[in-house]
């Protein structure tokens, strides 16, 4: 239950969806990581995750850090593993086995135990580290077990590997997006029915939970004019003619997808809706411009150019593009980050169109071909 990025505990359906992530798909992921390890000449890899950056461990084990206080580590050697280490109490293990791809190995001092395993597996060889920069100082001390081993930071390479989505990740993303779109459609129908935005969000959250999603992120905002941004849903009933900015994100099978739309409540004027749709023209132009291999800054520049071609001045407070997947915000997220083939970017466009604040969020699949594909179609 979440209207914000992270709830205190995710508690939608938490299952390993084997129709999406089969054993062979899991093996392909592990092989891809081992290939990276060989290229970087490390014999063992140790990845750390937390709830805000759950990708590395989740990629290797399907274990999400579902609670802000519950960190995890995974260890993989060229021959063995992955091994999962979390602080999960023993009594939870029968249930944890329902949603992970490997068993939980260490529980008491999970990080310490993960380091011991990494050290043992590496022999005298170098150990690749992923996500260690995000460890707070007190936890970093627990990794002193690794002292003496040659260590290599593989975080950027690993992030790029995750960003280039495999078939199972793309399948999960599409399913999450399908649910998010369904949620957005429901939201549109609920607006103007005399409900507060809070109640609308509650209803959408409920329906999405029944569809089996793991988590939701529903942000809503409304105003009569000016800059309208989605936010924590207020206890306000939107009035006829008011503009509502809505963002609905859904997590399914560990993958997030989000859509953003602008509504005019009970608008009698198709003219207003038409103006809001101007942003869709930007999308059409943009799909042909973005190419795999660009940096994220180049993608952002393309967005601004596409806006200019469509005659739209995009507003600067909304982040134009970033990666989305295991986390709502993931690689590529910095201007210098390279966008690999099969990245899914969340593109957010916001503009004043004839004094109406319009916002559009969609997912762009960077296919590696001539043109990218909007996963949400062209509606």
What residues make contact with another protein under the rule CB under 8 A? Answer: 1-15, 50-52, 66, 68-69, 89-96, 98-99, 107, 133-138, 140, 196, 198-199, 201-203, 205-206, 209-210, 212, 219, 221, 227, 229, 231-232, 235, 316-319, 329, 334, 350
CB of 82 to another protein, least distance (A): 21
| Strand 127-130 with 44-49, pairing | parallel
CB of 10 to another protein, least distance (A): 7
CB of 5 to another protein, least distance (A): 5
Beta bridge partners of 231: 220
| Strand 321-323 with 343-353, pairing | antiparallel
When the beta carbons of 98 and 377 are compared against another protein, the nearer one is 98
Beta strands in the chain (DSSP E): 44-49, 72-77, 83-86, 104-106, 127-130, 151-153, 215-223, 243-252, 255-264, 321-323, 343-353, 356-366, 373-374
The per-residue DSSP string of 26-56 comes to: HHHHHHHHHHHHHHTT-SEEEEEEBTTB-HH
From the centroid of its chain, how far is CA 133?
Answer: 20
What is the DSSP secondary structure assignment for residue 316, as one 8-state letter? T
* Distance in angstroms between the alpha carbons of the first and the last residue of the chain: 28
CB of 351 to another protein, least distance (A): 13
When the beta carbons of 166 and 315 are compared against another protein, the nearer one is 315
Please check whether residue 174 is in contact with residue 375, taking contact to mean a CB–CB distance below 8 angstroms: yes
CB of 260 to another protein, least distance (A): 11
Q: Nearest CA to 132 among 45, 218, 247?
A: 45
Helix (H, G, I), strand (E, B) or coil at 97: coil
As given in the structure block, the two tokens for residue 205 are: 């959250």
CB of 258 to another protein, least distance (A): 13
When the beta carbons of 206 and 274 are compared against another protein, the nearer one is 206
Q: Nearest CA to 265 among 337, 198, 194?
A: 194
When the beta carbons of 54 and 77 are compared against another protein, the nearer one is 54
As given in the structure block, the two tokens for residue 37 are: 């390890």
When the beta carbons of 81 and 307 are compared against another protein, the nearer one is 307
When the beta carbons of 142 and 166 are compared against another protein, the nearer one is 142
When the beta carbons of 153 and 166 are compared against another protein, the nearer one is 153
CB of 224 to another protein, least distance (A): 14
CB of 184 to another protein, least distance (A): 18
Residues 188, 180: Cα–Cα separation, whole Å: 12
When the beta carbons of 68 and 368 are compared against another protein, the nearer one is 68
CB of 185 to another protein, least distance (A): 18
What is the DSSP secondary structure assignment for residue 143, as one 8-state letter? G
Query: Phi, psi at residue 151, to the nearest 5°?
Result: -125, 145
As given in the structure block, the two tokens for residue 165 are: 């989505």
CB of 36 to another protein, least distance (A): 22
Residues 6+ apart with CB under 8 A from 293: 338, 339, 340, 341
When the beta carbons of 101 and 164 are compared against another protein, the nearer one is 101
């Amino acid at each position: 239950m979440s209207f914000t990025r992270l709830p205190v505990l995710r508690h939608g359906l938490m299952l390993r969806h084997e129709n999406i992530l089969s054993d062979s798909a899991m093996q392909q992921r592990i092989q891809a990581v081992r290939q990276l390890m060989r290229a970087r000449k490390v014999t063992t890899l140790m990845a750390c995750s937390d709830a805000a950056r759950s990708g590395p461990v989740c990629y290797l084990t399907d274990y999400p850090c579902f609670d802000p206080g519950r960190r995890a580590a995974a260890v993989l050697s060229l021959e063995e593993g992955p091994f999962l280490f979390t602080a999960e109490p023993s009594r939870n293990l029968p249930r944890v086995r329902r949603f992970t791809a490997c068993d939980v190995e260490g529980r008491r001092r999970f990080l310490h135990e993960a380091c011991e395993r990494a050290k043992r597996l590496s022999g005298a060889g170098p150990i690749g580290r992923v996500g260690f920069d995000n460890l707070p100082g007190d936890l970093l001390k627990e990794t002193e077990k690794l002292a003496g081993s040659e260590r290599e930071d593989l975080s950027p390479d690993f992030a790029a590997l995750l960003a280039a989505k495999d078939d199972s990740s793309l399948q999960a993303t599409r399913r999450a997006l399908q649910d998010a779109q369904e949620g957005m459609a429901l939201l549109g129908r609920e607006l103007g029915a005399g409900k507060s935005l809070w109640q609308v969000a509650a209803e959408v959250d409920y329906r999405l939970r029944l569809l089996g999603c793991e988590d939701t992120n529903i942000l809503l905002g409304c105003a009569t004019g000016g800059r309208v941004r989605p936010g924590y849903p207020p206890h306000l009933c939107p009035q006829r003619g008011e503009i509502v900015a809505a963002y609905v994100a859904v997590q399914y099978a560990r993958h997030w997808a989000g859509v953003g739309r602008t509504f005019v409540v009970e608008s009698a004027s198709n003219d207003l809706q038409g103006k809001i749709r101007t942003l869709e023209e930007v999308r059409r132009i943009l799909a042909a411009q973005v190419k795999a291999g660009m940096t994220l800054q180049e993608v952002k520049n393309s967005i601004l150019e596409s806006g200019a071609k469509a005659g739209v001045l995009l507003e600067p407070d909304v982040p134009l593009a970033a990666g989305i997947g295991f986390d709502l915000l993931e690689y590529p997220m910095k201007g210098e980050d390279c966008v690999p083939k099969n990245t899914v970017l969340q593109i957010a466009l916001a503009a004043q169109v004839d004094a109406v604040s319009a916002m559009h969020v969609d997912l762009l699949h960077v296919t590696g071909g001539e043109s990218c594909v909007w996963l949400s179609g062209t509606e």
